[in-house]
Structure 1
Amino acid sequence: MARSNKSGGSNQVFMAWLGLSILLLVIDQLTKLLAKNNLFEGVAKPVTSFLNWTLVYNPGAAFSFLAQAGGWQRWFFTGLGLVAALAMIWLIRKNSQQTLFSLALSLVLSGAIGNVIDRIAYGAVVDFIDVYYGNWHWPAFNIADSAITIGVILLIFDEIKRVNK
């Protein structure tokens, strides 16, 4: 059955959003591989007066939530990440013409999959970016975490914009 130009264009936009997610996923995984191959776990490598490269493994979620839970959290967060990824793919497909919404979901999708890959491969998420001020350190994070954070901020902004219309 022939497709109309409208659905073909929508499919191209959807594939572009998935392409963005894949690009960010590749960047995330390459930077984690570089960190694993060039850093020693827990040893800070100074970059600037507020940034270190520091390899750490986080078996929990954000801010090490449930990191000491005994192992079950690995599979819980892996399953949750996979379910969330499938939902985001469906939402991007359904709403691919909504630029800000699809951009936000593409960022979150790449981060979710990146961290799922880590959980499956290493049993924990590979973090290596250590931002600090004086003796205060933000919890270590990675490119996937950054993509998720930016994506969530964009989702909030998109919702505020939608509500205020």
Structure 2
Amino acid sequence: MRALASAAVVAFIVDQLSKYLVIHQMELWRVQAIDVLPPLLNFRYGENRGINFGLFSDGSDASRWVLIGLAVVICAAVLIWVRRQQLGLWPQVGAGLLIGGALANVLDRLLYGYVLDFLNMSCCGIDNPFVFNIADVFIFGGAILLVFLAPDPKDRSKKGQ
């Protein structure tokens, strides 16, 4: 569980530090756009009141609290599942990245009422209008690690026969 906790703390801190540096110190909130390595990497200011890609972003206070509650419940469920499964190092790291990223976005919703996004990536003639943040990368990467590296429960049931 130490790997899970360490990964969660690192993901949380890296996300919050990146948002502080880019949005507040580089004043992305004011300038709205900074081209870093166009078109591959740009900073674009975004306020996400929904889930991925702005889905369910009606902006109401009720939906904000529902999304906070849902994220906390999912984090708790993943933590309980990992404890029961006794997973190895990399699945624990994946769970930690997922939990740390989700809690970083929860903190944004508590502080600002929305999730701060700033990363925009385009390539190959495709202009991507969406923005995301480092926490989203950790959530996605953590989920991928869990999907591909967590043991298959069917294998465990076969061994018990």
For the superposition of Structure 1 and Structure 2, which TM-score range results when normalised by the shorter chain?
0.7 to 0.9
Distance (whole Å) between structure 2 residues aligned to residue 138 and residue 103 of structure 1: 31
Corresponding residue number in structure 1 for 2:29: 40
Alignment of 1:80-99 (within 5 A): 80-99=70-89
Alignment of 1:120-139 (within 5 A): 120-133=110-123, 134=125, 136-137=127-128, 139=130
Distance (whole Å) between structure 2 residues aligned to residue 123 and residue 69 of structure 1: 9
Larger relative contact order (Cα-Cα within 8 Å, sequence gap ≥ 6)? 2
Structure 1 unmatched ranges of 5 or more: 1-13
Corresponding residue number in structure 2 for 1:5: none
Distance (whole Å) between structure 1 residues aligned to residue 154 and residue 129 of structure 2: 33
Structure 2 unmatched ranges of 5 or more: 156-161
Distance (whole Å) between structure 1 residues aligned to residue 31 and residue 54 of structure 2: 15
Q: Judge conservation of contact 2:3–2:92 (CA < 8 Å) in 1.
A: no
Q: Judge conservation of contact 1:35–1:55 (CA < 8 Å) in 2.
A: no
RMSD: 2.2
Q: Judge conservation of contact 2:42–2:120 (CA < 8 Å) in 1.
A: yes
Q: Which runs of 4+ in 1 moved over 4 A?
A: none
TM (norm. structure 2) is: 0.83
SS of the residue corresponding to residue 121 of structure 1 reads helix
Distance (whole Å) between structure 2 residues aligned to residue 141 and residue 96 of structure 1: 32
TM (norm. structure 1) is: 0.81
Alignment of 1:50-61 (within 5 A): 50-61=40-51
Using a 3 Å threshold, how does the CA distance of structure 1 residues 124 and 149 change in structure 2: closer, same or farther?
same
1:164 CA displacement: 8.6
Q: Report the number of matched residues.
A: 151
Corresponding residue number in structure 1 for 2:141: 150
Residue identity over aligned pairs, in percent, reads 30
